A and B are shown apart, each in its own frame.
Chain A
């Protein structure tokens, strides 16, 4: 796994360096004073008056990453001549251990049919006295006690909209201390003083994704503020201790190969890819104070999101999620799986992008937030794979009738009307297996 991750990183870095040479733009440079002043003035509206980005392209897109994952093979693994009782017909060929439905039912026991859920039991037809009012009351109590562990347990049943911002902060252990605000201001100063090549990549990504999104276009300027600071935040390097990836390195001009002149580039070690800004966008619905928004995003990234774009054997890593998705589909919807495979529409090719982005930009925001509640509550990303399978199950009838990959994509193009909690509940607890 580490070898694969290492070679993937080399490829990304090579791509970044070649873009740099092609466009003759330095990876980093200090801004002249005039430019610094100008940027400071426009800090709150960087969305307008953007530089010419036509020559920039994203370093990679999720589908490039998928190709790498598909080609992962374990050289030590001996499958034997005979086919095992269940040959894996999906794209992922790495035999990692993933949960099956009985194990998932146990893991996600609070999502069961007999437990109240926000996203289901707060709908119009259900009187609030049955569940919602009590749930809100408990939430307020949890916040009053500032009990992080209780909050994590509580949020498995969903968070009331009015309490969500505080609950997430409690679970992620974010409290806006003066030193945090100061740290953010320091990062902002770094942005003003130095210009990085990745800045243009961030700009381009925001313009391509969030700026065109019905829900998130309003927050475009916040995204720049958060992401530009993020790429300069060296404290993020800390997460590489438990990440199979390593931060890319670059060398001061003219000193190639000399270790004393090696620096991490970008300073936070994370090269953004196409869609990266969508990790931040939904958070703008909860936090409108830049330094708090920043802290929450950073913590979400180093706890969860990094696993979605690095190769590892962790159960919440993207490889495991892909395998979990494919296994669920193959085991519980075999007809659908075989059909799609026959017509050249391997399901993972469609669902991969949903999982890499944690469904941001695909679901309606209120549904997405309910989903992310559960990510925090269970401290696991496996729910993304389960939801992806549940979506396929939901649209199975239509999918059985399509005869091409393009048609399958069309059936699954618009997820904005889906309600995630009923889908998850039915798939896990109400489907006859």
Chain B
């Protein structure tokens, strides 16, 4: 049994080593997972996916009167730097009082991230683009710049984000599972959009790696809330319908992001992957996809956390390698219902296409959930017919 890091995966699948996985070997990453998990490639793939749907005339790609996608606008406006620098400047000048967030493409744990509200703060990338724009920059210097969500939903005055775990066993047909026990990560410091605090990472970045160095970090709860707490709070203070709608939308954007990269993913049958999805909810209860992590932290910061991660790994392996037997990569990847544990089926392309509308509805059943588990809650969305 061997749980690989992304480094090892690169080696295993690299053309040079000529290593071939045998039938009884299963690994925990897809060879080109970075199509989803690198910040720039994720955005590229989603943009491409949207354009394709638009060209096909799919109803999913419908836009509103301002040209914004009605159903596929779930990633904040993003540009690659230095490549799209000029495009970015054009956008920036349209709303000069906006804040943008700079993130290095290949890093994690909040490293190297900073906020800007003036063009002068990213002069460095403009100089480079003016010079040799045909020379590919080394990946280390590549950044993405996204419109900063400066109106996050606050609870107790603090910003938080959602960490959700999604297991993909195959991309074509797409079969993915959502872990029911996600959590919210709260900042230890009260949120303020004030420009004087743009440098204060304790206000803006929810990564535990950052927050745990804060003065007020508490090791008992670790600043984490369960998703069911969030659901209870939102239902109690905002109402059932808007809360169910929010959670439906979250499931929707996860599935759409997977569909966007499915065509370019190397759907090696030896592979499965458990992603860490980061989602932020704004104060209008709209969810935004921030990024997808290929190696979500499996260390624990609190006692509850340890139990959660333990069960996560346990349930993941039960689905990827059922019965605890020696795996056979040729199996049909349809685990029996009993082994799902805390996972529930998020989307199963085969089932969805199988019996048409009837099956679609049933495969949607497991999605909305709260303190009561996977109960069917039809949010009444009649517009979307394809999943």
> Is B373 part of the contact surface with A, judged by Cβ < 8 Å?
yes
Is A212 at the interface (CB under 8 A from chain B)? yes
* Cβ contact within 8 Å between A286 and B236: yes
A-B contact count (CB 8 A): 70
Measured in the bound complex, the distance between the Cα atoms of B156 and A212 in whole Å is 15
A45 at interface by CB-CB < 8 Å = yes
Q: CB of A365 within 8 A of chain B?
A: yes
Q: Does A214 contact B (CB under 8 A)?
A: yes
Contact B220 A212 (CB under 8 A): yes
Task: Flag if B375 contacts A162 (CB, 8 Å).
Answer: no
Chain B: residues with Cβ within 8 Å of the partner, total of: 32
Which B residues, 151 to 178, have Cβ-Cβ distances below 8 Å to chain A?
155-158
With A122-B372, A214-B304, A221-B157 known to touch, is A160 a contact of B240 (CB < 8 Å)? Answer: yes
**Does A84 touch B at the CB level, under 8 Å?**
no
CB distance from A429 to the nearest CB of B (A): 23
* CB of A220 within 8 Å of the partner chain: yes
B residues 337-387 touching A (CB-CB < 8 Å): 371-375
Which residues of chain B come closer than 8 Å to A45, judged between CB atoms?
A: 157, 190
When the two chains form their complex, are residues A365 and B232 in contact, meaning their CB atoms are under 8 A apart?
A: yes
Q: Is the CB of B157 within 8 A of A44?
A: yes
The residues of B that contact A219 with a CB separation of less than 8 Å are 156
Q: Do A161 and B235 have beta carbons less than 8 Å apart? A: yes
Q: How many residues of A contact B (CB 8 A)?
A: 31
Closest to B238 in A: A162
Chain B residues within an 8 Å CB radius of A285: 232-233, 236-237
**Given known contacts A165-B237, A215-B229, A48 and B372 CB-to-CB distance under 8 angstroms:** no
| Contact pick for B190, options A44, A288, A364, CB 8 Å | A44
For B244, give the chain A residue with the smallest CB separation.
A162
A211 within 8 A of B: yes
- Give every chain A residue within 8 A of B232 (Cβ-Cβ): 161, 285, 365-366
Are A162 and B216 neighbours in the complex by a CB distance under 8 Å?
A: no
Q: Which residue of B lies closest to A136 (CB)?
A: B240
Find residues 256-289 in chain A having any chain B CB closer than 8 Å to their own CB. Answer: 284-288
Nearest A residue to B186 by beta-carbon distance?
Answer: A218
Question: Which one of A124, A165, A288 contacts B375 once the chains associate, using CB atoms below 8 Å?
Answer: A124
Cβ-defined contact, A47 with B221, below 8 A: no
Which single member of B189, B190, B372 contacts A124 (CB below 8 Å)? Answer: B372
Flag whether B239 is at the interface (Cβ < 8 A).
yes
| B242 nearest in chain A by CB position | A162
Does A222 belong to the interface (CB within 8 Å)?
yes
> For A122, what are the chain B residues with a Cβ–Cβ distance below 8 Å?
372
With a 10 A CB-CB cut-off, give which of B155, B221, B226, B228 has the most chain A CB atoms: B221
- A115 in contact (CB, < 8 A): no
A220 pairs with B156, CB closer than 8 A: yes
A222 and B237 CA atoms in complex are apart in Å by 15
Would A212 and B225 count as touching, CB distance under 8 A?
no
- The one of B155, B158, B236 in contact with A165, judged by C-beta atoms closer than 8 angstroms, is B236
- B160 CB, nearest partner CB in chain A, Å: 8
CA distance A213 to B190 in the complex (A): 18
Give the complex CA separation of A308 and B221 in angstroms: 28
**Given A213-B221, A221-B157; A162-B372 close (CB under 8 Å):** no
When C-beta atoms are compared, the residue in chain B nearest to A365 turns out to be B232
With both beta carbons as reference points, the residue of chain B lying nearest to A289 in the complex is identified as B237
| Residue of A217, A218, A285, A286 ringed by the most chain B CB atoms within 10 A | A218
A278 to chain B, nearest CB (A): 15
B210 to chain A, nearest CB (A): 17
Contact A218 B218 (CB under 8 A): no
B371 to chain A: which residues have CB within 8 Å? 364, 366
- C-alpha gap A306/B158 in the complex (Å): 32
Given known contacts A45-B190, A365-B232, A218 and B240 CB-to-CB distance under 8 angstroms: no
Q: How far is the CA of A365 from the CA of B235 in the complex (A)?
A: 13
Query: Beyond A124-B374, A162-B239, A285-B232, is A221–B218 a contact (Cβ under 8 Å)?
Result: no
Report B80-125 residues with CB < 8 Å from chain A CB: none
A48 neighbours in B (Cβ, 8 Å): 189-190, 215-216
Residue of B nearest to A42 (CB): B190
Q: Is the CB of A221 within 8 A of B156?
A: yes
Q: Chain A 43-60, CB within 8 Å of chain B: the 1/0 string?
A: 011011000000000000
Which A residues lie within 8 Å of B220 (CB)? 212, 214
Q: Which residues of B contact A161 (CB under 8 A)?
A: 232, 235-236, 240
- A82 interface residue per 8 A CB criterion: no
A177 located at the interface, meaning its Cβ lies under 8 Å from any Cβ of chain B in the complex: no
B228 to chain A minimum Cβ distance, whole angstroms, is 8
Cα A288 to Cα B283 in complex, Å, equals 14
Contact indicator A123/B235 (Cβ below 8 Å): no
Asked whether, in the complex, the Cβ of B229 is within 8 Å of the Cβ of A365, the reply is yes
Can you list, as one digit per residue, whether each of A23-57 has a CB less than 8 Å from chain B (1) or not (0)?
00000000000000000000011011000000000
**Contact between chains at B221 and A217 (CB < 8 Å):** yes
Bound-state CA distance A162–B239 (Å) is 5
A164 proximal to B (CB < 8 A): yes
Identify the 9 closest CB pairs spanning chains A and B, nearest first. Answer: A218-B156, A162-B240, A161-B235, A45-B190, A124-B373, A124-B375, A212-B220, A214-B221, A162-B239
Residues of chain A having any CB pair with chain B under 8 Å: 44-45, 47-48, 122-124, 160-162, 164-165, 211-215, 217-222, 284-288, 364-366
15 A-B residue pairings within 8 Å (CB atoms): A45-B157, A45-B190, A122-B372, A160-B240, A161-B235, A162-B236, A162-B240, A162-B243, A212-B220, A214-B221, A214-B226, A217-B221, A219-B156, A222-B156, A365-B232
Other than the given A48-B216, A221-B157, 13 more pairs (CB < 8 A) read A123-B372, A160-B240, A161-B236, A165-B237, A212-B221, A214-B221, A214-B304, A217-B218, A217-B221, A222-B156, A285-B233, A286-B237, A364-B371
